[in-house]
Every structure is written in structure tokens, then in C-alpha cells.
Amino acid sequence: MMKKKIMVVDDEVILTKMIKMNLERTGDYEVYTENEGSKALQAVRDFKPDFIFMDVMMPDMSGDEVIAEIRDDPNISSIPYVFMTAIVSKTETDNMGSNIGGNEFLAKPVKTEELIATIERVLQNKR
């Protein structure tokens, strides 16, 4: 079985390394991480992931800006994504989601089981 290609974009380097390690440990995923929003778009084009976890708040370019650019590129526009955020207010996440057509949000810190369940559910729905 081919490994699913997962991309994690977050400016917290330790967080992306932990997610990568925990997902790859299962043997089911190949994980690529990027710590700058501005570099994420090119990384998505190069890596062509099956799924993207995207941080919302990053210093150079926000997650919703990156996703908006991904949506504008027909070669990568169909890649499903989920935002990860430390924002806890449901109103804030609802507003953001409606602004950019967000799939859903995971609150940080995120548990590995939650990440895996999200990947599998979203990819199942995509078929």
C-alpha cells in the first residue's frame, strides 16, 4: 500500500517535527513539513500531498492566505486541508471557515490520534 503524503505547515518547528515523527511512526504516512507560510505554496506544488494540515496564524503569511493561493492553482486546488489553530473561540473559527471555505479546524495542541482520524475521514469523504 502506498503511503499517504501529508503536509504540515506551521511556524512552530518543534510541533511540526513531533507531528512528522508521530505520523511517520505508524508506517502509513510520508510527511513533509514547512515552517513558513510563504514557502508552503511552492512546497505543496513540489510535494503534491494527499492532505494538508495548515496553521492559521503564521508571521509571514497566514494559513488562509496560503490556502487561497492553493485554491487558485488548478494543479493543486483539490487537495483537502484542515486548519490547526490555537484560537479556541468557535465564533472566530466559524468566521474564518466561512471566509475561506475551510474544511474544518483542529485545536492545538493536537493529539496524534486526532490527526490520523481527521486524515482518514477527510480522505474517505474525498473518494
- What predicted TM-score, i.e. pTM, was given to this entire model? 0.88
Q: Is the pLDDT of residue 32 over 60?
A: yes
**What is the DSSP secondary structure assignment for residue 2, as one 8-state letter?**
P
CA dihedral 41, 76, 47, 33 (to 10 degrees): 50
Model pLDDT, residue 108: 86
**pLDDT value at residue 1:** 74
Query: Per-domain residue ranges for the chain?
Result: 4-126
Alpha-carbon gap, residue 122 to 106, rounded angstroms: 13
Q: Does domain 4-126 have CATH number 3.40.50.2300?
A: yes
DSSP string, 10-79: -S-HHHHHHHHHHHHHTTSEEEEEES-HHHHHHHHHHH--SEEEEES--SSS-HHHHHHHHHT-TTTTT-
* CA distance linking residue 25 with residue 46, whole number of Å: 23
Residue 113 pLDDT > 90: yes
pLDDT digits (tens, 9 = 90+) for 47-70: 999 999 999 889 999 998 999 999
b/e string for 109-124 if b means 16 or more Cβ within 10 A? ebeeeebbebbeebee
98 has pLDDT over 70: no
Section 88-110 average pLDDT:
64
* Spatial contact of 9 and 54, defined as CB atoms under 8 Å apart: yes
Widest pairwise Cα distance in the chain: 40
Give residue 96's pLDDT: 56
